[in-house]
Amino acid sequence: MKPDLRAEAGTSSIFLDRELSQLAFNRRVLAQAEDRSIPLLERLRYLCIASSNLDEFFEVRVASLLAAASVDGPLSEHPALAATLGRISQECHALVEHQYEILNQEVLPQLQAKGVHLVRHNERNEAQRAWVKEYFEREVRPLLTPIGLDPAHPFPQVVNKSLNFIVSLSGKDAFGRGTGIAIVKAPRVLPRVIRLPDHLSKSGGVSFCLLSSIIHAHISDLFAGREVIAYSQFRVTRDSDLWVDEDEVKNLRQALKGELQGRQFGTSVRLEVAMNCPPELSQFLLDQFGLHQSRLYAVNGPVNLVRLTEMIDHVNHANLRFPPFYPGVGRKAPGTDIFSELRQHDILLHHPFQTFQTVIDFIRSAAHDPAVVAIKQTIYRTGMNSDLMESLLTAAREGKEVTVIVELKARFDEEANINWADKLEQAGAQVVYGVVGLKTHAKVALVIRREEGELRYYAHLGTGNYHPTTTKLYTDFGLLTCHPQMSQEVNEIFIHLTSLTKPHKLTHLWLAPFALQNEIIKAIRNEARIARAGRPGRIIVKINALVDESVIRALYAASRDGVKIDLIVRGACTLKPGVPGLSENIKVRSIIGRFLEHSRIYYFRNDLAHDVLLASADWMSRNLFRRIEVAFPVLDRALKRRVIAEGLNPYLKDNTNAWDLEPDGQYQRRKPRGKQAPFGAQQFLMQSLGTPASEAGD
């Protein structure tokens, strides 16, 4: 009998807290905003990313915890959950305070020194104030509808994450009544960041003001005959998970269309107000939204930092941004027939260091190729505008058999996916929505051509989405292949997803929810067996999150058997590394850089077989059991070496963007030691795989 891991570790828990681990990731993102080696506008972008991450954390994680408690009574009856929420609240308040410190004490002052001004009301000169007043009267005031609260005017519906104002008024209204509170909603059609005319800015500079500041400056103009005693901007964050009873609905797409509107008015989970908001007004809002005082965040600046990305987009100072990057092509024979090239060899693409255009060309060529009889593809995220989706529409209109598995419940991309599903069906494509109760998260496409009287299969399998924007910002691998067995197994998966029949035995592909976790644990245990036999056991994994307890226990056991394990985990990780008797052979690091680390790579040494798999799945229970996921092997030896040389080794060598996880859950940033030269994995890959600016026509 194996010893009890919990007892052997000598600690009350062998797992770190998932939510605090996720918040620790946000700390690492904020550290980028503090890094003076990063251009100023990019530092501001990291602040916006951290704010967006925190929004989603409240909309999903905090909302789910509160919902779990509400099922069985008030939170006071769940002391463990209440304690968890208390720790989360403490960390979130500290994070938010730190965000605004960086914004106000570092980023904005330094941008101002470079000629980029975010001008507050009390900082505007007379000419700027006159322009702002004219803008308010022309563009803003006509769209505002102040609501004085009384029995006939109850507290209005407030949309999730929208900008609003609460106003305290003295005196009586036009009807002689003492309505003391009014609510003003900022119209969503208006920009949140407004650029002032260049002649009103300092020489050579550019100036902006916020919509919230413009409304603040003129809010008293909305209440003629009344005195504005106090006011504050506010924003409420709501539960944004969509829920439909998939066992009851007959048409998931139609049901979700209805739910999308309801998302804007889900259960409240957080309230943000201005720091100078009077306590009585913030308490009034807390009462209206049914929130505890701990859910209140009083901030020193705009309540929605994400909106400052609008300012970034309107500043053309190249020296305040990352230098432009031009990806490499990734094909040995660009411009030639891609199907001919694939019959010669597989193509491995490493995004964004190599262009995603090759994948778009693959589907586009298939759409116009008379030899192609069918195209099949999964869609998880693809965006509102997509050349790839347009190619699928073209293929369907030209009479090819087009089958698209659209995941309608891809969080925050539901509307775009529903729109594409509508268009595809109208063009004659067969559209299905995956499997009831499971998200289809696998990233696979299949092209079937008739060649010399026989059908040949060409497949694309990837770790990332078919999305034109994220393919330039996220690191991912994609494999194009016409390997007979693997490509036919891809077809088996499509048949499985459309027919709902049990898939045939898969030799090459690991498919969730049926086999993926078992195969992962089997591979881990195989390395442990090798190590117990006295031979080297080695595991290297690069994923976005590690929280599945069964997999973590298998890793702990392998560590005890002597397997050397390196885990490159971008976000939440609940495994404790470096604990004597538990995980002393395990190291965990996180890489935070210019691009979002998104690729999933599983490497097992396997007695020099060097098994390399790429996957759509992180090591989380939701990925392993509640999603359709695919892990696929890289079979070509040269391409295996490429994955290791590009996707793993540089990240283990990184000493500038790497953070090492300590057993207590804290992360320490790695720095060059002694005479070590600074080395960043992403910088290395940009230099080695990208196209020089001179060749890109810059």
Domain CATH code at residue 126 = 3.30.1840.10
For range 621-647, the mean pLDDT = 96
% of the chain residues with pLDDT over 90? 75
Whole-Å CA distances, 491 to 214, 437, 441, 629, 630 = 57, 22, 16, 14, 13
In a domain, 676, yes or no: yes
Residue 449 confidence class, pLDDT cut points 50, 70, 90: very high
Phi, psi of 285 (to 5 degrees): -65, -40
For range 168-172, the mean pLDDT = 81
Among 75-84, 213-222, 361-370, 519-528, the least confident range: 75-84
My answer on whether 316 and 348 are in the same domain is no
Tokens of 74: 């008030």
In a domain, 493, yes or no: yes
d(CA 321, CA 313): 11
d(CA 107, CA 105): 7
Identify the pLDDT of residue 76: 66
Identify the pLDDT of residue 308: 95
In a domain, 325, yes or no: no
For range 566-571, the mean pLDDT = 98
% of the chain residues with pLDDT over 70? 90
Has 351 been annotated as catalytic? no
pLDDT tens, 414-446?
A: 677 778 888 998 999 998 887 777 888 999 999
d(CA 410, CA 251): 17
My answer on whether 309 and 441 are in the same domain is no
Please report the sign of the dihedral spanned by the C-alpha atoms of residue 14, residue 65, residue 304, residue 167. Answer: negative
- Backbone torsion region of residue 447, taken as left when φ is above 0, otherwise alpha when ψ lies between -120 and 50, otherwise beta: beta
My answer on whether 471 and 496 are in the same domain is yes
Provide the mean pLDDT of the chain: 90
d(CA 551, CA 518): 9
My answer on whether 261 and 285 are in the same domain is yes
d(CA 184, CA 179): 14
Q: Write out the binding residues.
A: 53, 381, 411, 474, 570, 598
For range 233-237, the mean pLDDT = 97
For range 127-153, the mean pLDDT = 91
State the amino acid at position 487 in one-letter form: S
d(CA 139, CA 437): 46
In a domain, 459, yes or no: yes
pLDDT at 361 over 90: yes
Domain CATH code at residue 558 = 3.30.870.10
Identify the pLDDT of residue 33: 97
Of the candidates 219, 223, 250, 244, the residue with the CA atom closest to the CA atom of residue 232: 219
Contact 363, 392 (CB under 8 A): yes
Identify the pLDDT of residue 411: 57
pLDDT at 684 over 90: yes
Identify the pLDDT of residue 287: 95
In a domain, 333, yes or no: no
In a domain, 104, yes or no: yes
Q: Write out the binding residues for Mg(2+).
A: 381, 411
My answer on whether 350 and 313 are in the same domain is no
Residue 539 buriedness (CB in 10 A; 0-12 / 13-18 / 19+): buried
pLDDT at 363 over 60: yes
My answer on whether 350 and 256 are in the same domain is no
Choose one of 475, 503, 531: the last residue of a domain.
503
pLDDT at 106 over 50: yes
pLDDT tens, 504-528?
A: 889 999 999 999 999 999 999 999 9
Q: Write out the binding residues for ATP.
A: 53, 474, 570, 598
| 640 or 434: which leads in pLDDT | 640
Tokens of 159: 């949309």
Choose one of 293, 320, 347: the last residue of a domain.
320
For range 182-209, the mean pLDDT = 91
Range of the domain at 152: 18-320
Alpha helix (H) residue ranges in 469-616: 484-499, 516-532, 549-560
Q: Which one from 78, 218, 441, 467 is the annotated catalytic residue?
A: 441
My answer on whether 462 and 593 are in the same domain is no
pLDDT tens, 316-329?
A: 899 999 999 999 99
Identify the pLDDT of residue 142: 95
| 175 or 515: which leads in pLDDT | 515
My answer on whether 235 and 356 are in the same domain is no
Specify the number of domains making up the chain: 3
Alpha helix (H) residue ranges in 244-346: 252-263, 279-289, 309-313, 338-344
In a domain, 440, yes or no: yes
Identify the pLDDT of residue 175: 59
Q: Spell out a b/e string for 411-424, using b for 16 or more CB atoms within 10 Å of the CB, else e.
A: eebbebbbebbebb
My answer on whether 517 and 602 are in the same domain is yes
Of the candidates 233, 268, 235, the residue with the CA atom closest to the CA atom of residue 58: 268
My answer on whether 99 and 229 are in the same domain is yes
Among 169-173, 470-474, 668-672, the least confident range: 169-173
For range 61-78, the mean pLDDT = 76
Choose one of 442, 474, 503: the last residue of a domain.
503
Contact 405, 438 (CB under 8 A): no
pLDDT at 561 over 90: yes
pLDDT at 351 over 80: yes
My answer on whether 520 and 467 are in the same domain is no
Beta strands at 586-591 and 564-569: parallel, antiparallel or unpaired: parallel
Whole-Å CA distances, 446 to 36, 374, 505 = 46, 8, 19
pLDDT tens, 26-50?
A: 999 999 999 999 999 999 999 999 9
My answer on whether 499 and 519 are in the same domain is no
In a domain, 199, yes or no: yes
